Amino acid sequence: MGNKALLNRPARISILVSSLLLVGVSIMAASGDDWRTADRSSAGLAPEPDEYNDAVIQIYAARTVGWRGALAVHTWISTKPTGAREYTVHQVVGWRKRRNLSVVASETGIPDRAWYGSKPDVLVDIRGEEAEKLIPEVMDAIGSYPFADRYTMWPGPNSNTFTAYVGREIPELKLDLPATAIGKDYLAGNIFDTTPGGSGYQFSVFGVFGLSLAMEEGLEINVLSLNFGINPLKLHLKLPGVGIVGKSLGTAYPENTKARVAQLGEGG
């Protein structure tokens, strides 16, 4: 009887976790915006290019559209060289493949635009001389992305695979992607690589199963693209469907902190 109970314990845990995730998916599906009428306005997290002359690199994450938003985020990169009066937004968009286009889109636009109703969070914010130095490297990494002709929502390659790839190519970005960035662990032709933050290493089998250990991201375990992790150095806990628990709202720039707090006060 005791052995039987022990054998059933993993099954009960799996059922509990699955049930919680299904509840989250159901809630998100019931409350999600219609993508055709959803908000696409600026979140006020990027400096106005007409007022800010220095170079800027920012990386954003926002919940995806519909029921998928209960589990996953969409991530993208924005760049503005010194003196530029507009941003370029770099991201992977799956529908482009259906039109026989590269899934990588680099277009001028609003860098901190809501992703169809979901306001973004800033993951990386680099400005000034450091950003100016890194922008050519970012552009080179974007140009060398190996899956420009491929897109698979799960387990990848997808938009988060793209952002993670750029992070691996440029460890100076110190990119720490949340657990909800499903696809970040889909590696470019290897089962071993550096982590997206560039400060450690990971083992991953097609983004479905894996393990990583790094200074930026801490310890993460990937099971069916659901990430569980902990980073004692940052006091972060990473959970599927939740993301990073304990992450600071602010960045190095006070105006961004003020904007994000204002969003939360409005229920954003």
Q: What is the pLDDT of residue 214?
A: 97
Q: Say if pTM beats, i.e. exceeds, 0.85.
A: no
Residue 221: strand pairing partners: 211, 228
Note down pLDDT in tens along the chain; length 268 residues: 555 554 566 556 555 555 555 544 444 444 445 656 777 789 999 999 999 999 999 999 999 987 778 899 999 999 999 999 999 999 999 999 999 999 999 999 999 999 999 999 999 999 999 999 999 999 999 999 999 999 999 999 999 999 999 999 999 999 999 999 999 999 988 899 999 999 999 999 999 999 999 999 999 999 999 999 999 988 889 999 988 888 654 444 544 444 443 443 333 3
Q: What is the pLDDT of residue 196?
A: 97
Could you give the C-alpha distances from 196 to 63, 152, 162, 245, in angstroms and in order? 19, 19, 10, 19
Going 54 to 171 to 157 to 26, the CA torsion angle's sign is negative
C-alpha–C-alpha distance, residues 200 and 231, integer Å: 13
Residue 40: strand pairing partners: none
C-alpha–C-alpha distance, residues 179 and 227, integer Å: 5
Please, is 106 exposed, middle or buried when counting C-beta atoms within 10 Å of its C-beta (0-12, 13-18, 19+)? middle
Other C-beta atoms lying within 10 Å of the C-beta of residue 177: 30
Q: Is the peptide bond before 155 cis (omega within 30 degrees of 0)?
A: yes
- Residue in 123, 144, 131 with CA at minimum distance from that of residue 87: 131
C-alpha–C-alpha distance, residues 226 and 236, integer Å: 16
Q: What is the pLDDT of residue 167?
A: 98
Q: What is the pLDDT of residue 108?
A: 97
Q: What is the pLDDT of residue 35?
A: 57
Could you give the C-alpha distances from 42 to 115, 138, 187, 226, 238, in angstroms and in order? 10, 23, 32, 30, 27
Asked if residues 87 and 56 have their Cβ atoms less than 8 Å apart, the reply is yes
Q: Is the peptide bond before 111 cis (omega within 30 degrees of 0)?
A: no
